[in-house]
Amino acid sequence: MPTPEDNLISMAEQMNIPRLSNDELLQTFAAIIEELRSRGISRSNNNPAADYTEWLVCARLNLERQANSNAGYDAIAEDGTRFEIKARRITPHNPSLQLSAIRELKAKRFDYLIGVIYEIDFSIRYAAKIPHEVIASNSRHTDYTNSSIFILSPNILELPEVNDITSVLAS
């Protein structure tokens, strides 16, 4: 069975990506980022994983996506429940499961964190809805970035308070 990395390599070959010059690769990347933005999936020109994940989670869980400048949470449910949304794309070059920095964790600006771990090709390896208390008790503070670090390892999904939402997001 082909791996996600094999599928990505095959797709790149089918699209003749290896024949592109460095300039053409960067221009193609820029065009893709702009197309994602025009579709409302991406809201920035950064790595699209975070924006895509916010878009996907909000669409599948019927949440209202908040403005980029909203501190502490990314989406809100009809009942007022606040969600922070984080993602990590795993590659052979970087297999880390560490999510991006969580600011002001003690302020409890979100009720749940939705964490998504992607394969290299953006297929979902696993995803979880995690209560703030679980994030707080399984994170460590780093003075370097003045933030909390949380690693979304598979064993987090085994905690009784955590909901595995992989099938909801991957459908």
The pLDDT, as a whole number, for residue 128 is 98
The pLDDT, as a whole number, for residue 2 is 87
pTM of the predicted model as reported, rounded to 2 decimal places? 0.90
The pLDDT, as a whole number, for residue 45 is 78
Which regions of the chain are under pLDDT 50?
Answer: none
The residue type of 123 is S
The pLDDT, as a whole number, for residue 105 is 94
Which one-letter DSSP state was computed for residue 112? E
Whole-angstrom distance between the N-terminal and C-terminal Cα of the chain?
A: 21
Is residue 139 classed exposed, middle or buried when 0-12, 13-18 and 19+ CB atoms within 10 A define those classes? middle
Which two structure tokens, joined as six digits, stand for 11?
Answer: 């797709």
CATH number corresponding to 46-170: 3.40.210.10
The pLDDT, as a whole number, for residue 43 is 86
Which two structure tokens, joined as six digits, stand for 54?
Answer: 């916010």
Q: Which residues contact 2 (CB under 8 A, 6 or more apart)?
A: 10
The pLDDT, as a whole number, for residue 44 is 82
The pLDDT, as a whole number, for residue 85 is 97
